[in-house]
Structure 1
Amino acid sequence: MTKPNESTVERPLNFIEQIITQDLATGKHSTITTRFPPEPNGYLHIGHAKSICLNFGLAERFGGVCNLRFDDTNPAKEDQEYIDAIIRDVNWLGFPTGGDAKSQIFFASAYFDQLYDWALDLIKNGKAYVCGLSPDEAREYRGTLTEPGRPSPYRDRSVEENLAEFEKMRSGAYDEGACVLRAKIDMAAGNINLRDPILYRIRKQSHHQTGDKWCIYPTYDYAHGQGDAIEGITHSICTLEFADHRPLYEWLLDNLPVPAQPRQYEFARLELNYTITSKRKLKQLVDENYVDAWDDPRMPTIAGMRRRGYSPRALRNFCDLIGVTKSASTVDVGMLEFAVRDDLNANAPRAMCVLSPLKLVINNFADHFSESTIAVGQPCHPQHPEMGERTLPFTAEVFIDVSDFTEDTSLSRKKFKRLVLGDYVRLRGASVIKAEKVVRDEAGEISYVECSLVPNTIGEDPPEGIRPRGVIHWVSATESVECEVRLYDRLFNDPSPDAGGKEFLDCLNPESLVVISGARAEINLNGAELGVAYQFEREGYFTLDSRYSTAEKLVFNRTIGLKDNWESKVS
């Protein structure tokens, strides 16, 4: 059966799907194998979500395989925490990892022995050499985009000398930065990536997978294509910034005895306005305590979006909505928010929560009900009766939101459709009431409002002549649960926070988090589940916070508002 928000319309094939369809039709490949190769040096973000959905989605669509391969070639920046988080994120998005032939986990570090042997092969064939230029000297020799580079003075070492020097690198005889292994290609190449690129560098760091076995580590450019070949990747799909690296990718495959010849294709990475996706800058936000952690609900990380209440279905729908193209462009974050709101509107159960409580005392409650608590029913979702009903306790004292009451009797019904002193309003699912009197404390603040109910109006229209201004949400004052509500908004108030030389920290939105204590939620939310988003009627979509919420103290995060009001806030 089609889910409430699931489209049955077949979309056109994107350009990568067209290539794969052609490759399968011509017999170039009998099946496909893709891969998602993150470096475990941080948490995955929304841009990675697009790549995950693309690579795993292609395997899913064409009955192939997608490998999750960790590009763990730089132990100085990597950590097991990030590996665990990446696996968790990929699984949460709905893609399995490990356990069968169609979902396996690989590590580039598992290929270190083979990569080392292939590096020896390049040296023996005169296609690689150990270079002792300092980093500054190497930059000088490399040339510019308009000027060719110059050969390193170490470029013409003999094979025997290079083998001996590479062995010294491997055995730890040299300090970090003393020398590197470089491919011998063309220092005058127009593509600067072919000007004798680095294949190995010295890193005297313990590795999370291989321990202290190695003190030299392959570069991404060297390990990536060879990892693809070892795993039999048919379509190696990268973002556009790797297009200039493709000639090096192909040169290495052509000059090594690899078991397969994968092909690299590039697509436009996801760029969102009001968002940064630089791992370095995201890490800075965490390290300098601008946010709670990598999973702070304001972060564009998958973990942050999960904690905020986004569903994997919403992210997958968003990635499908923006499509896969070869042209770089910036996507309006409003499209992501639309996908989230559209998903939650269709799937989130309803509940009532009063963020800023004002007490109403219904003086004639006992005159019309023999019990102190009346059970009233409300649908869990108005468009989906199959989701059932919830029961709400209606009592003589209730809370409404302070913004839903005014003493200004001059306000028209069109202007204020809520409770006005001396007028009527309906409590959603319960009785029509009238505000009779305001009771104040010693400071002159409203303590509570005395009201009266119109009898026989639960589920029924009031008598002729009584016309409620509108319908407002409420909770019982005696049978509700106190909670904290955290109102999250966009982390940045600038559409391009790290563009044009701007200091991205200067673009932080000071109102990206507002914490409300003392909110009151309907009693049913005592059983709220982690990972389930609820629509707080007239307030927005909320979910339990996985970090701060406990059985003793419920904490709800606002996932998103009922409608987009960002432009009105920044204009």
Structure 2
Amino acid sequence: MRTSSFGGGCWRIKTDMKHPNPAFRDRVLFRISEREHPRVGTRYKVWPLLEFSWAVDDHLLGVTHVLRGKDLVMEDEMEKAIWDYLDVQRRPEFIHYGFLFFKEIDLSKSKLARDIREGRLAGVDDPRTWSIQSLQRRGISPQALRTFVLSFGMSLTDVEVSADNLYAENRKVIDASANRFFFVPDPVTIEVEGLPPIWDVEAPVHPDFPDRGHRRFEVSSTIQVPRTDYLAFRREEVRLKDFCNVVLDERARFTGREVKEVPKIQWVSGGSPTRVLMPDGTLVEGLAESNLSAAAIHDVVQFERFGFVRLDARDGQMTTAYFAHR
């Protein structure tokens, strides 16, 4: 085999040809590959397949428990057959579990790999891959992911859940540490008429932790609000959160500063350019309050009325964040 070329030979394990599962009969353990290995180059041509390497590694590494999906039960039997030939006495316990599906997401590793290779996805941490790397980049904490997965136990029954279940666990972890900021997506500029001299306003850094202090805003009569709110509440009275009340329009009318039972919307006065990469790969561009510059890259924060995001990068004045969830 060492002098053969690809397809010129293989090494099989001798099994019972009457085994009820045809796929178990005389399975291939080694094959010839002429591809260059990233570590040893072309030094070797004969390579073990997974089942043989698993059997050897599990024995040499002293593995005591093997956790596998229920689709790999036959691999247990193959490892046992190899151990029988090698006279391995101490063997690990095999534990199997069912599949976990997200209702809204198609998780095909082969398709994702192809999309990355062909440039349709930016890489393994693209938010559309739902890889561990992408979840981390979005601000999904390891603690939340662990709690979420362990909540289903080790049943062989397949589980299909909404991604909202994972988000709920993550919200429990990050809510207390996520400071609040205003972000105005797709901003519309308005002029507030009749605004009295107000040079700055304050809003809590976190409403549940007053000891963290307040954010201060310099304000003027020129304000930016989200386009969706502008279209939804135009010519109606709204409260610019933590600031004042206005009848919303291109030339808005100041109606007071007392808190009223009217819709509350976020706003900025000037602001800094910010974009948020959403889980579907789209970019939401807008303006964030200037206080966001005090937050560190990799911080998970909450953009009020928008959702939790993880700050990913700054390039000049532009801040890029990854959307986690609402």
TM-score (norm 1): 0.52
What CA distance in whole angstroms lies between the structure 2 residues aligned with 1:403 and 1:263? 56
Give the secondary structure class of the aligned counterpart of 1:181: strand
Counterpart in the other structure of 1:134: none
- Answer whether contact 1:273 1:333 (CA < 8 A) is retained: yes
Tell me the SS of whatever aligns to 2:11: strand
Aligned mate of 1:514, from 282, 294, 297: 282
Distance change (3 Å), C-alpha of 1:306 and 1:180: same
Contact 1:230–1:259 (CA under 8 A) maintained in structure 2: no
Tell me how far 1:283 sits from its aligned partner: 0.8
Distance 1:324 1:526 in 2: 44
d(CA) in 2 for partners of 1:355, 1:193: 55
Equivalent residue for 1:253? 83
Which residue does the alignment assign to 2:43? 213
Alpha-carbon separation, structure 2, partners of 1:282 and 1:405? 38
Residue 531 of structure 1 corresponds to 298
Paired position in structure 1 for 2:106: 276
Alpha-carbon deviations, 1:331-369, whole Å to 9, x = none? 33342343344444444221101112222333444x534
Superposition deviation, residue 381 in structure 1? 2.1
Counterparts of 1:314 and 1:403 in 2: how far apart (Å)? 32
1:368 equivalent among 191, 197, 202? 197
| 1:234 Cα offset (Å) | 0.9
1:425 to 226, 232, 238: 238
Residue 126 of structure 1 is matched in structure 2 by none
Counterparts in 2 of 1:272 and 1:431: CA distance versus 1, 3 Å: closer
What's 1:401 paired with?
226
Secondary structure of 1:368's aligned partner: coil
Tell me how far apart the structure 2 counterparts of residues 279 and 180 of structure 1 sit (CA, whole Å).
Answer: 28
Answer whether contact 2:272 2:317 (CA < 8 A) is retained: no
The residue that corresponds to 1:294 in the other structure is: 124
Cα distance change, pair 513–232 in 1 and its aligned pair in 2 (3 A): closer
Q: Which has the higher strand share?
A: 2
Distance 1:386 1:191, change over 3 A: farther
- In the alignment, the residues of structure 2 paired with residue 260 and residue 212 of structure 1 have an alpha-carbon distance, to the nearest angstrom, of 35
Match of 2:309 in 1: 542
- Cα deviation, residue 252, structure 1: 1.4
Given the superposition, is the C-alpha separation of residues 317 and 349 from structure 1 closer, same or farther in structure 2, using an over 3 Å criterion?
A: farther
Report % sequence identity.
Answer: 25
Q: Give distance in 1, aligned partners of 2:191 and 2:275.
A: 24
1:452 to 248, 251, 254: 254
- Classify 1:405/1:279 alpha carbon distance in 2 versus 1 (closer, same or farther; 3 Å): closer
Instruction: State the SS of the aligned residue for 1:322.
Output: coil
The secondary structure found in structure 2 opposite 1:255 is helix
| Letter matched to residue 300 of structure 2 | A
- Equivalent pair of 2:206/2:212 in contact (CA under 8 Å): yes
Q: Distance in 2 between matches of 1:516 and 1:482?
A: 11
Q: Give the partner amino acid of 1:558.
A: F
Contact 1:433 1:452 in 2 (8 A): yes
* Letter of the 1:539 counterpart: F
* Pair 1:353–1:184, CA change in 2 (3 A): same
CA distance in 2, matches of 1:329, 1:433: 49
Contact 1:530–1:544, Cα closer than 8 Å, also in 2:
yes
Residue in structure 2 matched with residue 558 of structure 1 by the alignment: 323
* 8 Å contact from structure 1 (residues 230, 260) kept in 2: no
Do residues 384 (structure 1) and 212 (structure 2) align?
no
Q: Distance in 2 between matches of 1:278 and 1:516?
A: 26
Contact 2:103 2:163 in 1 (8 A): yes
Higher share in helix? 1
SS in 2 for 1:184: coil
Amino acid at match of 2:142: P
CA deviation vs aligned residue, 1:53-75 (integer Å, no higher than 9, x gap): xxxxxxxxxxxxxxxxxxxxxxx
Q: Distance in 2 between matches of 1:387 and 1:318?
A: 30
Matched residue, 1:183: 13
Q: In the alignment, which residue of structure 2 is the partner of 1:47? A: none
- Decide which structure has the larger Cα Rg and report it: 1
Q: Any conservation in 2 of the 1:426–1:472 contact (CA below 8 Å)?
A: yes
**Contact between 1:394 and 1:430, CA under 8 Å: does it hold in 2?**
no
Q: Distance in 2 between matches of 1:207 and 1:313?
A: 36
Deviations 1:167-196 (A, max 9, x none): xx1x3x101111111111211111335411
Q: Does 2:29 correspond to 1:199?
A: yes
Kept after mapping to 1: 8 A contact 2:224/2:268: yes
Shift of 1:523: 0.4
Aligned residues: CA RMSD: 2.7
In the alignment, the residues of structure 2 paired with residue 472 and residue 331 of structure 1 have an alpha-carbon distance, to the nearest angstrom, of: 32
1:179, 1:555 → 2: CA distance? Answer: 53
Give the equivalent residue in structure 2 for 1:486: 277
**Closer/same/farther in 2, CA of residues 400 and 274 from structure 1, 3 Å limit:** closer
Structure 1 residue matching 2:276: 3-state secondary structure: strand
State the 1:280 CA deviation: 1.5
| Local SS of the residue matching 2:12 | strand
Deviation at 1:391, TM superposition (A): 2.4
Given that 2:193 and 2:251 are in contact with CA atoms closer than 8 Å, whether structure 1 keeps it comes out as no
SS in 1 for 2:242: coil
Residues of 1 paired with 2:245 and 2:322: CA distance?
Answer: 31
CA distance in 1, matches of 2:203, 2:243: 9
Segments of 5+ residues of structure 1 without an aligned counterpart are 1-168, 407-415, 439-447, 489-511, 563-571
SS at match of 1:383: coil
Q: Secondary structure at the match of 1:476?
A: coil
Task: In structure 2, give the amino acid aligned to 1:515.
Answer: L
User: What is the deviation of 1:401?
Assistant: 1.9
Output aligned runs, 1:341-352, within 5 Å: 341-352=171-182
Contact 2:66–2:92 at 8 Å: present in 1 too?
Answer: yes
CA positional deviation for 1:449 = 1.6
Letter in 1 for 2:266: H
Aligned to 1:469: 262
